[in-house]
A and B are shown apart, each in its own frame.
Chain A
């Protein structure tokens, strides 16, 4: 099992001149430490208009800074919103290739389509179309990276033959993933030979079924890229502390703050009934994990919060149901002081990481 860190870059009000810069600077400090401690990857989302929840609209820039300040940690561009109103597909391929070059071949390429009306409405996107445009674009990216010239006549976009440059450093191309929140998207990932980048928290039972189905279906996939990336990546919260009660209290505050923020956003299905969004995505999952007003608080299942022994136990469960990688959210709204975040990372690296054997690295075929 491998471990990474995961950024939404949430910024609390008031948004004075230093607020966003502070969040970005602290995140970069965490990434540098993660690189030193042996975390395998850092992921950063692409979001737009999501007040306080995520001020990460240009993740390729943040990840470039990460790459420039580290030596070994892989950089996860994810997910890139594969919706043409957000990103022209050519620009997705170009930016990813540059990031792969500048990082020395450390790019992991996550793809997705956005789950909020806040974002889709902001770009005037019809929610009915996003699954189709994602599918079209994600099939084009490997061709853009591997063919000398690329042309396309599609629905999401069309273009005459052009050389899309530069090409990625990893050959034939970086590992590709798809964000999995809605039930069934893990099947989309499997059928295309893509890694499953799970974005739901907790819930061993449901996750185990979905991972098993992913493993079964990917055996017969028709890969859209040059190789199959059979891996299951999940996201979690991390707050590790010698004192279990302190770890749980702080970790619960972290996860609760994140969930509270996420719940303020307008999910696509809540706003716009569409077959394209059969579940409510990450947001209602988080709502379920939150205690309802008036209910007694509880520790959500599957979260990596508490002392090292508790965190090891939770990760053993994730490992047992087939998870290959776990990426951790370290903070939300700066609710955890930076020194405590760094101490938590150090404790995790010292006491938890050694308990999990390293799996073979996910590298591009032939790289």
Chain B
């Protein structure tokens, strides 16, 4: 059967966000600007970045995203994520390695409601004529700088962004942790596509020591209505998704 993740979850679970429950009310946010950059990664570590519940994509991939949320119940915020491309059984997903936001209130809410492992940083999304760049700085040090080069308009209907799998702790997870599926819908108003570029990527800062981007795929940047939905599925990270998935929230 397909390869599966081999990530040792012991430390990850210990530092994962503690969620009180999976009952968070959804956030629907209009006019979100989102830069998404994807690369193939070195296949020597294709399984070691994922928990056993998930399969790596073939070829293995990493997704960088930097988003501006102009409004939310906790106010405007920026959010940057690095995710490893994967499958939960047959379904395309991105396993969150780490996230940064510029808003302490957003960090707290995203962690408690949707399991985002989220720290504070200076997160920027800059749109220029010839490039759109996402930059993350922690204490003044650049830990991520990715870009879309020479944007060209495309149809938003051609874009597919995959749902998150966020490792968190739940009261009833028996200490094994839980993968929280966060699968927002997108309504696109504008979309651009272009060549991706990584200027800076501090792997340690993203809990991504084994993630070595080697081959660019594509970058896109969209303006869309999206958000953070009601949680529908939770997975046991230690067993295959087909066996360890449960529905929540009715």
Select which of A12, A271, A273, A287 is within 8 A of B154 by beta carbon. Answer: A273
CA of A334 to CA of B142, assembled, Å: 50
Q: Is the CB of A51 within 8 A of B160?
A: no
Known: A286-B90, A293-B89. A269 touches B160 (CB 8 A): yes
In the complex, which residues of chain B have a beta carbon less than 8 angstroms from the beta carbon of A294?
Answer: 233, 245-247
Please report which residues of chain B, range 7-49, place their CB below 8 angstroms from some CB of chain A when the two chains form the complex.
38, 40
Known: A52-B2, A121-B217. A269 touches B158 (CB 8 A): yes
Interface presence of A338 (CB below 8 A): no
Select which of B40, B90, B160, B193 is within 8 A of A270 by beta carbon. Answer: B160
Please report which residues of chain A, range 261-320, place their CB below 8 angstroms from some CB of chain B when the two chains form the complex.
261, 263-266, 269-275, 277-278, 280, 286-287, 290, 292-294
**Nearest CB of chain B from residue A157's CB, rounded to whole Å:** 25
The proximity string for B residues 93-128 relative to A, scoring 1 for CB distances below 8 Å and 0 otherwise, is 000000000000000000000000000000000000
Q: Is the CB of B90 within 8 A of A51?
A: no
B241 closest partner in A (C-beta): A293
In the complex, which residues of chain A have a beta carbon less than 8 angstroms from the beta carbon of B55?
Answer: 264
CA of A121 to CA of B154, assembled, Å: 20
Q: Is the CB of A266 within 8 A of B61?
A: yes
CA of A58 to CA of B138, assembled, Å: 51
**Nearest CB of chain B from residue A82's CB, rounded to whole Å:** 22
In the complex, which residues of chain A have a beta carbon less than 8 angstroms from the beta carbon of B85?
Answer: 266
In the complex, which residues of chain B have a beta carbon less than 8 angstroms from the beta carbon of A280?
Answer: 160
Please tell me the number of chain B residues within 8 Å of chain A, measured between CB atoms: 37
**Nearest CB of chain B from residue A367's CB, rounded to whole Å:** 41
Interface presence of A118 (CB below 8 A): yes
CA of A259 to CA of B85, assembled, Å: 19
CA of A192 to CA of B241, assembled, Å: 44
Q: Is the CB of B89 within 8 A of A275?
A: no
In the complex, which residues of chain A have a beta carbon less than 8 angstroms from the beta carbon of B40?
Answer: 121
Interface presence of A169 (CB below 8 A): no
In the complex, which residues of chain A have a beta carbon less than 8 angstroms from the beta carbon of B158?
Answer: 269, 273-275, 277-278
**Nearest CB of chain A from residue B61's CB, rounded to whole Å:** 7
Q: Is the CB of A121 within 8 A of B2?
A: no
A264 closest partner in B (C-beta): B2
Interface presence of B145 (CB below 8 A): no
Interface presence of B175 (CB below 8 A): no
**Nearest CB of chain B from residue A31's CB, rounded to whole Å:** 26
Q: Is the CB of A287 within 8 A of B218?
A: no
Secondary structure at the A interface, as helix, strand, loop or mixed, is loop
How extensive is the interface on chain A, given as a class? 20 to 34
In the complex, which residues of chain A have a beta carbon less than 8 angstroms from the beta carbon of B245?
Answer: 292-294
In the complex, which residues of chain A have a beta carbon less than 8 angstroms from the beta carbon of B193?
Answer: 273
In the complex, which residues of chain A have a beta carbon less than 8 angstroms from the beta carbon of B88?
Answer: 293
Please report which residues of chain B, range 52-68, place their CB below 8 angstroms from some CB of chain A when the two chains form the complex.
55, 57-59, 61
Q: Is the CB of A121 within 8 A of B159?
A: no
Interface presence of A260 (CB below 8 A): yes
Q: Is the CB of A271 within 8 A of B2?
A: no
Interface presence of A50 (CB below 8 A): yes
In the complex, which residues of chain A have a beta carbon less than 8 angstroms from the beta carbon of B155?
Answer: 275
B233 closest partner in A (C-beta): A294
**Nearest CB of chain B from residue A52's CB, rounded to whole Å:** 7
Known: A52-B2, A272-B218. A264 touches B57 (CB 8 A): yes
B90 closest partner in A (C-beta): A263
Select which of B38, B90, B154, B235 is within 8 A of A275 by beta carbon. Answer: B154
Q: Is the CB of A270 within 8 A of B247?
A: no
Known: A260-B2, A293-B235. A121 touches B215 (CB 8 A): yes
Q: Is the CB of A12 within 8 A of B91?
A: no
CA of A319 to CA of B215, assembled, Å: 46
Interface presence of B143 (CB below 8 A): no
Select which of A269, A271, A333 is within 8 A of B38 by beta carbon. Answer: A271
Q: Is the CB of A272 within 8 A of B217?
A: yes
List chain B positions with a Cβ less than 8 A from chain A.
Answer: 1-2, 38, 40, 55, 57-59, 61, 85, 87-92, 154-155, 157-160, 162, 191, 193, 215, 217-218, 220, 233, 235, 241-242, 244-247
- Jot down 23 A-B pairs with beta carbons below 8 A, ordered by A: A49-B59, A51-B2, A118-B58, A118-B59, A122-B59, A260-B90, A263-B91, A266-B59, A266-B85, A271-B218, A272-B218, A273-B154, A273-B158, A273-B191, A273-B193, A273-B218, A275-B154, A275-B155, A278-B158, A287-B90, A290-B89, A293-B89, A293-B241
